């Protein structure tokens, strides 16, 4: 395992699962929109036991309903077990450029959320996938007079989400804060 001193912004794209077979392969849990897309990025930065390692994927592919991969210099099941539970990151500059009105989830973190009536709902602290639609997690505790500390707002563009303004770092929503 070689350590990396990367200072680049890194994006979490997956996690290493159980070893697969005896020749150094392991299962991959991909967080990319298209699971096989995780193999489009190289190198990977693996965070394991508080340390970061830069690795090259020697081979990766779909296998049955999941993904498997193998790193350079990982030749046995014992070698693969050493990577178990490692988190897979890639450099942010490897992500594709987006059109002007598109954004990555990470771009929304920290944005102020305002209702169309001007009410300040809080700051985006994260996003969740629910299956039916994504959900903004909004930290409301800093200014909410009604005792709410968190709001979950469905991310439904042109219905609930009226606009995302990257320049002003704001999201405007048509959402009743539940007074």
Token code pair at residue 57: 């994927």
Coil/strand/helix, residue 167: coil
According to the model, what pLDDT value does residue 30 have? 93
According to the model, what pLDDT value does residue 124 have? 93
Residue 173: in which H helix or E strand, if any? strand 170-173
Rg, the chain, Cα only:
20
According to the model, what pLDDT value does residue 101 have? 76
According to the model, what pLDDT value does residue 85 have? 95
Q: Model's pTM, two decimal places?
A: 0.69
Q: Splitting the chain (179 residues) into consecutive groups of 10 residues, what average pLDDT does each group show? A: 62 94 96 90 94 95 94 94 95 84 83 90 87 86 64 89 90 79
Using CA atoms, how far apart are residues 76 and 23, in angstroms rounded to an integer?
A: 5
In the chain the domains, ranked by start, together with CATH numbers, are 10-94 (2.40.30.60), 105-173 (2.30.30.240)
């Amino acid at each position: 395992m070689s350590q990396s001193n990367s200072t680049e912004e890194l994006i979490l794209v997956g996690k290493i699962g159980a070893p697969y077979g005896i020749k150094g392969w392991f299962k991959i849990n991909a967080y990319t929109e298209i699971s096989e897309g995780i193999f489009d990025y190289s190198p990977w930065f693996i965070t394991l036991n508080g340390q970061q390692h830069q690795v090259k994927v020697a081979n990766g592919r779909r296998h049955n309903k999941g993904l498997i991969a193998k790193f350079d210099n990982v030749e046995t099941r014992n070698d693969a077990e050493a990577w178990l539970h490692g988190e897979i990151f890639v450099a942010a500059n490897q992500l594709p450029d987006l059109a002007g009105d598109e954004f990555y989830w990470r771009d929304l973190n920290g944005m102020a959320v305002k209702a169309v009536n001007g009410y300040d709902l809080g700051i985006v602290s994260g996003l969740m996938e629910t299956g039916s639609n994504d959900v903004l997690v909004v930290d409301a505790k800093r200014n909410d007079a009604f005792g709410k500390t968190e709001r979950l707002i469905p991310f439904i563009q042109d219905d609930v989400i009226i606009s995302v303004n990257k320049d002003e770092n704001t999201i405007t929503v048509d959402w009743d804060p539940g007074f």
